[in-house]
Amino acid sequence: MAIDITDLRDPVLSPAQRAAREAAAAVPLRFTQNAILGAAMEQTGLSDFGADDFRERLDVWCKAIEEDANASALTRVNLFQMMIRYAATRLRIEDIIGRHPEILDIVIDRPIIVAGLPRSGTTHLLGLLSADSRLRSLPWWEAIAPVPAPQDAPTSDDPNPRWTRADQGWQGYEAMLPHMAIMHEFSADHISEDIELQAVDFSSYLLEWLAYVPSWRDYYLSHDQSGTYAYLKKALQVLTFLRGPNRWVIKCPQHMEQLPALYRTFPDATFVITHRDPVGSIRSAMTMALYAARMLRTRVDAEEPKAYWIDRYERLLRACVRDRDVLPAAQTIDVYFHQWIKDPDSILREIYRLADLPLSDAALVQLHAYRAAHDSGHRGKIAYNLERDFKITADAIRSRFAFYFDRFPVQPEVR
């Protein structure tokens, strides 16, 4: 079933959406380091944030958010709460390492790392690999609360309070933006990108998906991300200590523009780089942003996502083309969408071969069962319309990416 969102440019708000916007407007906020870190310390009863270099990045985040004049009050409330959550998580990570320094000796053994544009098959592939019980993955309920707080102890009424909170948050989000479940799922058991762990270091490109923050983008792209990738590894060590095993499968599109830092941090990894016509991914990102704008922007303007995301994808893919060959051939596979849809099993077998992980026929059957059980097609599919919603054609977008098609044998899809 095709779902055509016809009010993208001129949204018609439901009573619940209007009420949420009005409630957020009544909450005055100022984004300052002291306010965010103070709230995190009060929430946790902890005070050691570890290395102080994150404070400069936090200040850049705060300044960039304040510069986004079109961010709605709801966006500001959501970002403020999110930043407190990251600061509280950082406090808990440093606390548990302080009590258990042996955590830093845990080996993150030959992880499988997936990188690729959104909508290029990364989420589907990550979900498939995470069905293998030999591999450790990051469900959303754990990504947003990696270290349990005292109130997260299981009870007879609630065996996993972190899962319950994540589920309640997703239900509320889905009720407010019902089509988002098709575009980008955040259910409690959904396997998360590892960007949630990078954000605990107040870096990554995550903030760009939540507000229009070009000053943060420029800061992030001009600074070496090795420290943040090291923090990602430290977070994985903590999670492994709390719940093994230590053979991880992780994924994030951002890795495509951070391949040198990724390789330095995980030199024994198996790298899986997925490729697909970038027009499809850009079309999805712009449509998702414009749909969410009814809640997240004061004024809905289709030029915002069009101007930002076409340029941003070009930056990301130019970095991928520039740095792809830093990854060792013996540890890396490029996965092309047109090949994946024809013969996924042979690609899975090659991934497992590179990872030196046996893949039996019985294991393949299990992966197929997972794939069938997690088919999201029953929700329907979004009907995209670039010319109606953004006054641009697929060919006009694709003309920006000749360098990518020249480097990788990607087949154009969107017409």
| CATH code assigned at 175 | 3.40.50.300
pLDDT for 404 equals 98
Give the pLDDT of residue 205. 98
Tell me the two tokens of residue 253: 């599109």
- 10 Å CB burial of residue 107 (0-12, 13-18, 19+) is exposed
For 259, phi then psi, to 5°, come to -60, -40
Q: Are 75 and 208 in contact (CB under 8 A)?
A: no
Helix (H, G, I), strand (E, B) or coil at 377: helix
Residue 265 included in any domain: yes
Residue 3 domain-assigned? no
| Domain contains 71 | no
Structure confidence at residue 180 (pLDDT) = 86
Q: Is 263 domain-assigned? A: yes
- Whether 340 shows a pLDDT value over 70: the answer reads yes
Residue 204 is classified by DSSP as S
Q: Return mean pLDDT, the chain.
A: 94
Looking at the domain assignment, is residue 90 inside a domain?
no
CA 284 to chain centre: 15
Contacts 24+ apart (CB under 8 A), 85-90: 85/144, 86/199, 86/200, 86/202, 87/36, 87/37, 87/39, 87/40, 87/49, 87/58, 88/40, 88/43, 88/44, 89/145, 89/146, 89/147, 89/200, 90/40, 90/49, 90/50, 90/54, 90/200, 90/201
pLDDT tens digits, one per residue of 272-283: 999 999 999 999
Dihedral of alpha carbons 283, 287, 290, 292, sign:
negative
pLDDT tens readout for residues 353-373: 999 999 988 788 878 887 777
**Residue 224 placed within a domain:** yes
SS3 content of the chain, % helix, strand, coil (to 5): 60, 5, 35
Q: What angle do CA 241, 245, 248 make, to 5 degrees?
A: 105
Give the mean model confidence (pLDDT) for residues 340-356.
Answer: 93
* Number of domains the chain contains: 1
Task: Show the domain range for 304.
Answer: 107-152+159-407
- Token reading at 4: 């055509």
SS (H, E, C) 301-312: CCHHHHHHHHHH
Domain for residue 346, yes or no?
yes
Among positive and negative, which fits the CA dihedral 349, 192, 276, 265?
Answer: negative
Model confidence band, residue 377 (pLDDT cutoffs 50, 70, 90) = low
56 phi and psi angles, rounded to 5 deg: -60, -45
Give the pLDDT confidence of 85-121 residue by residue, as tens digits.
999 999 999 999 999 999 999 999 999 999 999 877 7
Contact 96, 48 (CB under 8 A): no
Q: How confident is the model at residue 381 (pLDDT cuts 50, 70, 90)?
A: confident
Question: Residue 149: phi, psi to the nearest 5?
Answer: -85, 165
Decide if 268 is inside a domain.
Answer: yes
Show the tokens assigned to 76.
């500001």
